[in-house]
Amino acid sequence: MKYTSVTVLLVLALGLSGCSMWRSTTKYVKKSWETTKDYIDPPPQIDTDSYQFSNPNQEKLARLFTPVDGPLTSLGRFVNNTDTIPDVDWMDLLLARFPWVHRVLVTDDEGTIIFMQPEVPVKKIENPLVFEAVWRDITLLTVVDYSDLGPELYIGRPYFKDVEFRGLVAVGFDPRTLLGLSPSPEELVIIHPGGGVWSRGAIADEEALLALPWEDILRKEVEGQVEVGDKNYTWLVRYIGDNCYVYATESVDPKASRKSWWFF
C-alpha cells in the first residue's frame, strides 16, 4: 500500500512541475543521447589522404590496371563458385555480367568437350588445352592458347556430381579485349611469364620484358620496378590460381622512392 502511494505522489509531482520542466528534461535527455550516440556510434568519416600515393609510378599503374583487374577478379570468383555442371541460367548470367567472354567449354571426366558456346568460334583452338591439377586440390586453373588471331586466356575449374569428379568448365577470352577497359589501354601491358606480352598498342620491347628472370623476381616480390633497355617499368603481379600474370606500365619517375602499397 505504501509503495502504491509513493508511486502516485511521484506521478503527481511530475505533473505539477509544469511544461517548462518537462521541456527542460527532454532537452537534457536528447543532448545526453546525442553525445552518447556520437561516442558509441560515431558518424563515418572518410580519410581521403590515406588513399593518396606518394609514388607517382604506383599511382599511374593503379589508375590503369584497376578497371581491368576488377572484372578479371570477378570472373575468377564466378567460375570458382561453379562446382556442378553449368546450366542455361548460369550461361546467361555469365554472358550478361562478362560480355567480353568469347567462349565457354564444358568437358567430361575424360577431357572430351561435351558443350561449347559458341558452337562455331571465331578463333579455333590451336593447341590442346592441358589443365594440370592435383587431385582434390580444387583451385582455379588457367591456360593460354596462342593462336594466329591472338592469345586466348582460359580460366577453368573441375566440377562434380556428389563427390565424384565429372569434368571441367572453362571460360575463354582475349585479354587484349579486357585491356580495353583501362582508361589508357595503350599505356598498360600484361606480361605472361614464359608466354607472351599482351597490349593494345603499347610501345614496349616485348622480348626484353619476357627475358627478365620473372621466376626469381616473383619468388621474392609481388610488385616493383624493372629496367628494360632505356625504359623503366612499374609492375604488379596478379595470381589466378597458381598462375601469375604481371601488370606493367612505363614508370613516371624511375627515381621515385619505393614504399609498400596496397595490393588486392
> HEC string of the chain?
CHHHHHHHHHHHHHHHCCHHHHHHHHHHHHHHHHHHHHHHCCCCCCCHHHHCCCCHHHHHHHHHHHHHHHHHHHHHHHHHCCCCCCCHHHHHHHHHHCCCCCEEEEECCCCCEEEEECCCCCCCCCCCCCCCCCCCCCCCEEEEEEECCEEEEEEEEEEEECCEEEEEEEEEECHHHHHCCCCCHHHCEEEECCCEEEECCCCCCHHHHHHCCHHHHHHHCCEEEEEECCEEEEEEEEEECCEEEEEEEECCCCCCCCCCCCCC
> How is domain 55-176 classified at the CATH fold level?
Beta-Lactamase (3.30.450)
pLDDT at 45: 52
Listed by start position, the domains of the chain span 2-40, 55-176, 184-250
Q: Record the pTM.
A: 0.75
- What is the side-by-side strand order in the sheet with 189-192? 196-199, 189-192, 243-250, 231-240, 223-228
**Cα–Cα distance between 37 and 39 in angstroms, integer?**
5
Q: Render pLDDT for 136-183 as a digit per residue (tens, 0 to 9).
A: 666 788 999 998 888 999 999 998 888 888 889 999 999 999 999 999
CB 198 within 8 Å of CB 176? yes
**Cα–Cα distance between 262 and 145 in angstroms, integer?**
31
Q: Render pLDDT for 207-259 as a digit per residue (tens, 0 to 9).
A: 999 999 999 999 999 999 999 988 999 999 999 988 999 999 999 888 876 66
Q: Render pLDDT for 57-95 as a digit per residue (tens, 0 to 9).
A: 999 999 999 999 999 999 999 999 988 999 989 999 999
